Each structure stands twice: as structure tokens, then as C-alpha cells.
Amino acid sequence: NSSPDWLTGSCVVTQKIQLKKVPSLLNVSVDLLTPENLRDDLKYYFMNPCEKYRARRNIPWKLGVQILKIVMITTQLILFGLNNQLVVSYKEENTMALKNLFLKDYRGVDEDDYSVAVYTQHDVYDRLFYVLEQYSQLGRLSVGPISYAEDEDGKLLPLVVCKECYKKGSLEPSDGVYNIDAQLETIQHFIFDFSVGHQNDVFKPLPAFVSRLVDITITFQLKGINLQTVRSRELPDCYSFSVTITFDNQCHSGMVKIWLNIGTERSACTDWKISGTAQKNTHYLLVFDGFVILICLTSAVLCTRSIILAVRLLQRFSRFLHENYNRKVCEDDQREFLNGWYVLVIVSDLLAIIGSILKMEIQAKSLTSYDVCSIFLGTSTLMVWVSVIRYLGYFQKYNVLILTMKAAFPKVLRFCCCAGMIYLGYTFCGWIVLGPYHEKFEGLSRVAECLFSLLNGDDMFTTFAQLKDKNTVVWLFSRAYLFTFISLFIYMVLSLFIALITDAYETIKNYQENGFPLTDLQKFLREQKDFPVVEENSQTDVHIRRSVLCCCPRYKFMVQFVCGSSMTSYH
């Protein structure tokens, strides 16, 4: 068995066995791992849906899902918006009705965040008794379906009167003498009996501490039913109203401000019966929302699959450059693989799913978070319609906006950070100096809004004219403040802002006429071979890679045949 002939024969036999068992795999591996195969996969990945269909007859399911999703989400938003408008109008009209019911001499307009103002003790008493009297006769006065709230035992909830005042206080303005204990004390009265004698008992001690009175708060609970939704063939909503009427004397200026606030909360209707198609229509809407969730899940799965395939292609291309040219993929090429549009679609799908679930709960009368649901549905619809620009970007004439925004965004972001520091400085300065003299500068948010309006050229003369000129120094400062801000931001900041975008547009326009600079990826796709080659000795391990989400397997392995001192390798 030590004969050289035997060794030679063994080698020949082994070679024949390998050639019989591996030729098909050899052909596949050589086919799939060539630059031509990688180039074909990359070209196919960057094709638009129409080109993919013409190239391989693959139906663009993802495009069809996106079109269907746009139609369904927009329809869902419109239906929810119409229903939400009924809820908002019901709350606003109830607030107006309760103000007219409980606030004497209310004129229908709130001035400076208060509804009514009184200036004498008699007027304060008159308004307090008026609230109690109107509350006791609510069932005979209100024309709407509204009544008193009850507890779990069926008993009426009391009306609560809360008086807050300084613990001790005596004032003699004529002599400039005062004695005040700044600690506040609270006195509460729970009223079940609305007779005149009982009302006098509650408010009789009021003149004794009117000088140290801070505020009086009257709180009570009401319940109502919104029947507007019946017209849209949906189930009515039941509501609980927490009404708070405040007599504010915190300034002790001789003017007591009165306002009415309402906290609205949807409550479960304990016993209801409705005939017609309202309940059936609710079931149809729930089925429609469920179908929207299914479409969004499908869209999210398809986009996630595309992202995974893109990452795998990036890894293959990166390995190709490293093994053949000892180079890394540049950042621009990496961004081509990591498609931000897919991320936008996935985020919009998640928001739409959450919003649809909340909408279904609202329609089933299990939740009342109309505002939260509106935010989710509105944001998802915004992102869905913005993502349509991706498909318009396949056409060169419609791609200018995307390319210009993409090129100008980094510069514009840096520029806005610098300009924002100046803007914040003007905001703080205007608030602290002009706040006591101008209503548009009373709060930081109002100052920011006012300056933004001035920046766009809105309401300039009114801002100048409304400043009170009682203080000459402040008046002169306001003129210098406003003139410098308007001149700096309109003539310089906005001009530079527009110049950055115009420069990016001109660059993109020039590239479209003369051609864009080619990256390594684009050179590879165009079959150019001008990569700088660096010699490097490397060994490739034997392995097989198969994509989970792709129907085409990816093989990479090396087969070696050793016979004597010779070796043949196939990749």
C-alpha cells in the first residue's frame, strides 16, 4: 500500500469523485460571485418598479400596497375628522351655553382670559347668588340634554364652594399700615340645600375678610349626551362636565375677574337603546379600520424586507471592494443603500396602526382620546403623502425638489443653528423689556410668535403702533429693538437663507446638464475599472450564505483539488 502508483490512482479517483459531485454547485457559485452578477443585482435593486417589471416581470406589490394605503388612510382620516368636528363643536357650544347660564351679564366674548369683571362687593354677592340660583333651576332652564351628576349610589353630587384667603390681614391704605400673614387658608362648603337662608349662611362672613380674600371657586358636576353623532349614523356619546367658576381677587386691584372653565370627559352610557343603522354602521367602520391595520402591517413588512436586502447588498459590495481593490465604501454610497424613504414609510405605518387602534376604541366607546388619536392619524397621513415624492423622484423633471433639499439641508441646518442664537437673544430681550408695555411681548411664546411674524413681514405697523409711549426710554429702546431685528433678519438672514437654497439648486441643475460626479458604486454599475488597486494577500474562508427574505440563494465557497504538488482553485 505504500506504492506511488497507488497514491496517484487515489488522487485520480478523488478528482473524479469531486468532478461528479460538485459541477452544478461550481457553476452556480462561479455565476453568482462574479462582478457581473453583483452588478446585475445592484442594478435591479436601484431600478424603479416599472423597470423591475420590464426586466424580470416581477409585479410591483410594494407600489400597489402604497397606493392602496394612501387611499384608505386618507379616507379613514376624513371620516374621523368629520366625527371629531362634531365632538369639538359640541364641547364649544356647551361651554358657551353654560357661560350664558351661570355668568350674569355675560356678553359672549372673553376679554383677557376672563369672562366677566365686577368692581363692588354688591356685584360679587349678586354673581355668587346668581350661580347658585341658576344651578338649582338647571332642569327648567337648559334647552339641551344636560342634568346633575350622581354618584355610584344614585345620590346627587354636591356643589362645592371654596374660599381662599390670607390667614390674617388688616389694611389701612390711608395710613400706609398693613398686617398680613401670607399663609393661605381654605374654607370649603358642600351645598345640598339651595334655599336662600342657607346661601346667606355660606356667604355671610364674606365682608369680614374681603380685604384678605384671594379667590372664591364654585365647582359642580354635570352630565350630558351628544346626539349629533346619530345623524352620522354612529352611537351617541355620554359626557361628564366638571364646571369651575372662579372669582379671582389675587391682584387686590379693585377688579374681581370671573371666568368659567369646563373639563370634559366622555363617560360610559349605562343604559342605552337605539334603533336604525347606527350600530351597524359602527361595525362597518371597525372592519374598515381593521383592514387599514392589515395594509399598514403589509407595507411595513415589505419595507423592512427591502431594508434588509439593501444591507445585504451593501455588505456584498463592501466585501467586493475590500477583496479586489482594498477599499471601503464611501459614505455617499452607503447612503444610497440605506434608503430613508423606507424608514419614513415604516414610521408612518406604525403611527397609522396605533391611530387606527385608538380610533377603533373610540368608536367602540371604550376611549375618548380624540386629540391623541388625531395626532397619530394626522402625522401618519402627512408622512404617507410626503412619501409619494419618492415615486415622483424617478422622473428627472420632478426630482429637482428632492435633490435640492438633500443637497441644501446640511448647510441650511448649520445656518439655522447660528441664526437661532440671535433669534433667542432677541426673544429674551423683548420679553423682559417690552413685556410690561406691549401685549405681544407678555410671554416668551408670544414674543417668539411676534418676532416670527415680523420676520415674514406681517403686522409690522401694528406692532410699532401698539407700544405704549408712557415711558420715553422704553419707547426709544423699542424702536431700536424692532428696527435692528427687522433689518438684520429680513435683509441679511433671510437673504442668506435663500442664497443657500439657490446655490444648491444651481449646483443640481448644473449636474443634471453636465452629469453628476461618479462614486465608486456608480463607476461599478457603469462597468468602469478605474479603481486604484492595492495588492493584498488574503484568504477566503469556505462558507455558504443564503438570504432569508430573498428567494435567490447566495453561495460563496472555494473548491480546491490537490494532486501531487499542483493545486487548482475555483471561486
- Residue 244: closest CA among 103, 407, 427: 103
pLDDT one-digit tens code per residue, 367-403: 767 788 889 999 999 999 988 887 776 666 677 777 7
Q: Which residue has the cell 438672514?
A: 493
128 - beta bridge partners? none
Q: Does residue 178 register a pLDDT over 80?
A: no
Q: How far apart are CA 157 and CA 168, in angstroms?
A: 32
DSSP letter at 176 equals T
* Beta strand extents in 203-273 (DSSP E only): 213-226, 237-248, 256-267
Half-sphere exposure of 378 (CA within 13 A, CB side): 8
pLDDT in tens, 254-313: 888 888 988 888 766 776 666 655 555 667 788 888 999 999 999 999 889 888 888 888
Name residue 563's beta-bridge partners: 566
What is the per-residue pLDDT across 33-63, written as a single tens digit (0 to 9) for each? 567 777 777 777 777 777 777 777 777 788 8
Our measurement of the distance from residue 269's CA atom to the centroid of its chain's CA atoms, rounded to an integer in Å, reads 32
Q: CB–CB of 132/92 below 8 Å?
A: no
Cell numbers for 15: 478528482
| Main-chain phi, psi angles of 257, to 5 degrees | -90, 140
Residue 502 has pLDDT above 90, yes or no: no
Q: Is the pLDDT of residue 415 over 60?
A: yes
pLDDT for position 283 = 76
Average pLDDT, the chain: 75
Higher pLDDT, 306 or 9: 306
Lowest mean pLDDT: which of 323-332, 409-418, 553-562? 553-562
| Per-residue confidence (pLDDT) for residue 254, from 0 to 100 | 83
What pLDDT does residue 249 have? Answer: 85
Element (H, E) at 567: strand 566-570
Checking 518-521 for CB contacts under 8 A at 24+ apart, the result is 519/330, 519/332, 519/333, 519/336, 520/321, 520/327, 520/329, 520/330, 520/333, 521/42, 521/317, 521/329, 521/333, 521/336
Q: So what's the pLDDT on residue 312?
A: 83
If one compares 515 and 126, the residue with the highest pLDDT of the two is 126
- pLDDT over 70 (residue 357): yes
Asked whether the beta carbons of 529 and 288 are under 8 A apart, the reply is no
Amino acid at 117: A
State the pairing for strand pair 566-570/213-226: unpaired
State the pTM of this model: 0.66
Tell me: pLDDT of 21 over 70: no
